Amino acid sequence: MSWFEALVLGIIQGLTEFFPVSSTGHLYLGRHFFGLDEAGLFLDTMLHLGTLIALLVFYRYEILAIIKKPFSKLTYLLVLGTIPAVIVGVLFKDFFEEISKTGLTIGWEFLVTGLFLFYADSCKKGFKKMDQIGYKDALFIGIFQAGAIFPAVSRSGLTIAAALIRKLDRETAAYFSFLLSTPAIFGAILLQSVSLFKGTVEQISAISLIMAIIASGIFGYLAIKWMIGFLKRKSLKVFAVYVCCLGVITLVGQLTGLM
């Protein structure tokens, strides 16, 4: 993998982790385009490390507040919202790893993401701010996050959709969705790290790795900031149309043998 390919994949990861379009699905397509299908778990772990750094920087004040007051309401909301993904991820880890390798279902998963975005965008305008989010809201959003363990189902897409369904206002929906992703991404890195120690790590140059992590972190930070502002003013339909079109293109490519 060249430094340029690492840079492109880092940009893809950074943007699509927080745009509601599925980072895993886009990484699969990106690696396939570059002929890097063998660059799997280790590369994904490092790219997720970049987006985790972006989250830690963006939410540094919230994280410091949690450290100072670990038994606050926000802590309980994040724990409750993370539990469903932990349960599903641990119980069905092998299953999800297998379908991630084949990529056979990603076209359908893009379509599922698009349908949820269309539905959520059609819901009545929400009103709840951060201090009005309840435990039922957090659990509901967490259940949707658990469903996003499928490779090309967007985690941010489903959690934002769930938040809108629970009547969070649009800016708060994006804000809480990304904050909730912090423990989820951290947990995913831990699980992937365990798998790396058990298996063979693909060989990637240090320059390519550093380039991938930096690009993922920088573009992840920009994507978080931009997306929160965008959703405050604009509709999710543009993303819904995009992932539905991408799903159809992927399915056609797989059926015709072009992908």
pLDDT recorded at residue 255: 87
pLDDT above 90: residue 246: yes
**Residue 168, beta-bridge partner list:** 128
Domain that holds residue 170: 3-256
Q: Tell me the per-residue pLDDT of 81-107, one tens digit each, with 9 for 90 and over.
A: 999 998 988 888 777 777 776 677 899
pLDDT recorded at residue 202: 60
**Rounded to whole angstroms, what are the CA distances from 62 to 144, 171, 255?**
23, 16, 46
pLDDT tier, 39 (very low <50, low <70, confident <90, very high otherwise): low
pLDDT above 60: residue 177: yes
Number of domains forming the structure of the chain: 1
Q: Tell me the per-residue pLDDT of 138-150, one tens digit each, with 9 for 90 and over.
A: 999 999 999 888 8
Among candidates 183, 112, 114, 96, which has minimal Cα distance to 142? 183
Tell me the pTM.
0.90
* Cβ atoms within 10 Å of 153's Cβ, excluding its own: 24
